[in-house]
A and B are shown apart, each in its own frame.
Chain A
Amino acid sequence: MEKEENNGEYIELAELDPDFKSEVMKHEDAKGLNACFACGTCTAGCPIHEIFPEYDPRKLAKMVKLGMREEVLTSPYIWYCTTCHNCEQHCPQNVKFFNILNVLKNMAAKKGYAPNAWVEQTKQIIKTGLVFTTDEALFKKRRSFSLPDLKLDGSKVKKIIKLTGIDKIKAQIKG
């Protein structure tokens, strides 16, 4: 029989990765995922979903459980979360979707799908300890209000952060 064309209307069972879920759940922050019965309370209370329906916590949780590794980790939507914690705040099953999403983002980042904004912030804290660049005008302004000078030294951050491997993460190349 000839293979039907799949325009994203159904899931190819053969392309699912049954190890994905257990890999995610191995992480302390994501171990409650099995309790999710897809009631959708997370999605209903999500402010991002309300204005951008493609971002859907319930759907993402289901996709992880089904083993849709590629679809989840390459999805640009997982980065849209505004970290309001509503999803976990209201979950009747005490599933920490917010934490699960962090685990997913960490996995995606390792694969090279991290947005540039977060990678740049890491580079910045290694330089100055803070996520922003500063200049002489700011120092002047601070002094004019008798506010203390900022130290701006990232050397200690650099020493310890290397131990986590975050400095090796590269931003996704667009295009």
Chain B
Amino acid sequence: MNRYALFLGCTTPTQVIQYELSSRWICKQLGIELVDIKDFVCCGINQTNLNLEAGLLLATMNLALAEKRGLDILTLCAACTGHLAEAVEKLKDQDTRERINSKLETIDLKYEGKTKVKHISRVLYEDIGIDRIKEKIKIDLSNLRIAPHYGCHYLKPESAFNGFDDPDNPKTLHKLISATGAFPVQYETLNLCCGGKSFPVSNKIAMSLVRKKLDNLISKKIDFLVVQCQTCYLMYSNQQNVINRKLGRNYNIPVLLYPQLLGIAMGGDLIHDLGIHLNGISMDYFLKKLEINKKRS
């Protein structure tokens, strides 16, 4: 039995609940037990901008909460993943750990370096494995062309990920997409950042990054862009709509979160289990895509 503390982060449970919903559903189907820790707080990544110590302290507070229950952490957000995994690395240094723990003492917490952090896609890839995922596929998606988007902190800083995947030439999400039966499309701006962390300071710059990827994808004849981070999701989905409205553009690139794609292939209920209707994609468009698949399969 795979058992993890589910780390929701800030954005998923408040703005992209379909990511949480579909992740919980696929984990249940695949025998991954998720434990909710209500005391979890923000991972601290944005606080590093103002105060590195505060950023590390918040990360460690969360690690300590999971460690207290003897659990590793499963993350949904790429940024939480990178920040928490980097904290695990930094806290291997005894002086750093003691310094941070002396602050955590005030709330009766302590981190000893046992709890580790894995993104949901990594858990699927490493703990469940491509073969076992394939066994669960009920609906043929072989006609779908999918552009993967990894999210920077899923694999960086590289030192925090033990060579799990190559940040410059990543493969794991491609393989996870293939496992659903769909076809992962290679494209030039694969590794381009979504701009989510620039957005609060300069949304103009962030939007330029979004447009660059969308422009690249127009010619690739894809059915969906598939992401594995709610911030990347918001940038490519919600901000795509903002760009269309404000700049009079006509992008039409539907975005799914990976657990939604896998959930569809596993036969999950599109609304109740996967929350597809919350993605701003017309359900007609969606059903038509799946219908085409059915006919050709």
Contacts and interface: CB of A to CB of B under 8 A. Distances in A.
Interface in A92-123: 98, 102-103, 105-106, 109, 114-115, 117-119, 121-122
Contacts of A44: none
A23 B217 CA distance: 45
B17, B96, B195, B201 — most chain A CB neighbours (10 Å): B201
Contacts of A40: none
A82 B198 contact: yes
B41 A82 contact: no
Interface in B179-202: 192-193, 195-198, 200-202
Interface in B192-244: 192-193, 195-198, 200-202, 205-206, 208-209, 212
Contact of B209 (A47, A115, A159, A164): A47
Interface in A131-166: 131-132, 134, 138, 141-142, 145, 147-148, 150-151, 153-154, 156-157, 159-161, 163-166
A156 B41 contact: yes
B106 interface: yes
B157 interface: yes
Interface in A38-71: 47-48, 51-52
B200 A132 contact: no
A168 to B, nearest CB: 10
B46 A161 contact: no
Contact of A157 (B51, B58, B96, B212): B58
Interface of A: 27-29, 47-48, 51-52, 79-86, 88-89, 98, 102-103, 105-106, 109, 114-115, 117-119, 121-122, 125, 129-132, 134, 138, 141-142, 145, 147-148, 150-151, 153-154, 156-157, 159-161, 163-166, 169
Interface of B: 10-11, 13-15, 17, 20-21, 24, 36, 38-42, 45-54, 57-58, 61, 79, 82, 96, 103-104, 106-107, 152-153, 156-158, 167-168, 192-193, 195-198, 200-202, 205-206, 208-209, 212, 272, 275
